[in-house]
Amino acid sequence: MLFSKLYNSYHRVRSKYMRTVFRLCHAPTMHTCGSGAHLYSPFRLEGAENISLGKNCVIQANSWLYCQPEVEDDGCLEIGEGCVLGYNNHITAVRKVVFEEYVLTANNIFVSDNLHAYEDIETPILQQPIKLKAPVVIGRGSWLGENVCVIGASIGKNCVIGANSVVTQDIPDYSIAVGSPAVVIKQYEHTTRSWVPCAQE
């Protein structure tokens, strides 16, 4: 009982200290950082001047945010107000990756608007350039399950993406999608106020 109280007190003090360090040392380097936003240590920030965190968004530890535009001043990575991102989230942008408000992610998420070129078979892929696939927008209020990958595709608002899914095509609003590649299996029907299974080809 005593140990539990001491641990909880320590955790609160440490959390407050880490938030203060983040606000003083890291937030000023970013494009914008809203009040109450926090990125838990350890974390990795590359291209912080192109990264924006909305008010009260929280990103758990071991996450990596990367934004290095193809063209100077032509790239952004935005995490919207009230978003909660899990542990080990890796988000990379060369043009545009946006999480709208109140997006929730589980752990081990990868979101990217780019990929390695591979067309030149005489050159190792490691030595080929990064290229834009397509801008990415994760819609307001959506939920990405464990181990989801989103590569050059956008997800509508209030969507659910099942664990281990790989999203390579756009997902419409109010959809549940699963699989690799992810396919929509249910959509919300407003007239009946219910989730309706989609016909599978």
Residue 24: predicted pLDDT? 73
Residue 43: predicted pLDDT? 95
Residue 71: predicted pLDDT? 63
When pLDDT is averaged across residues 136-142 and rounded to a whole number, the result is 99
Q: Which CATH class is domain 2-197?
A: mainly beta
Q: How far apart, in Å, are the Cα atoms of 189 and each of 106, 156, 197? A: 26, 15, 10
Q: Are residues 82 and 34 in contact, defined by beta-carbon separation less than 8 angstroms?
A: no
Q: What is the pTM of this model?
A: 0.90
The dihedral over CA atoms of 127, 68, 168, 105, expressed in degrees to the nearest 10, equals 130
CB atoms within 10 A of CB 45: 17
Residue 16: predicted pLDDT? 72
Residue of 120, 155, 127 whose CA lies nearest to 141: 155
Each domain of the chain, given as residue ranges in start order, spans: 2-197
Give the model confidence (pLDDT) of 12-48 as tens digits. Answer: 766 776 777 777 777 889 999 999 999 999 999 999 9
The dihedral over CA atoms of 38, 107, 130, 140, expressed in degrees to the nearest 10, equals -70
Residue 200: predicted pLDDT? 66
Separation CA 108–CA 85 (nearest Å) = 10
Give the model confidence (pLDDT) of 51-104 as tens digits. Answer: 999 999 999 999 999 998 876 667 899 999 999 999 999 999 999 999 999 999
Of 108-112, 127-131, 152-156, 167-171, least confident by mean pLDDT is 127-131
Residue 1: predicted pLDDT? 73
CA Rg, the chain, in Å? 19
| Cis preceding-peptide flag for 42 (omega within 30 of 0) | yes
SS3 at position 10: helix
Cα dihedral across residues 107, 112, 116, 119: positive or negative: positive
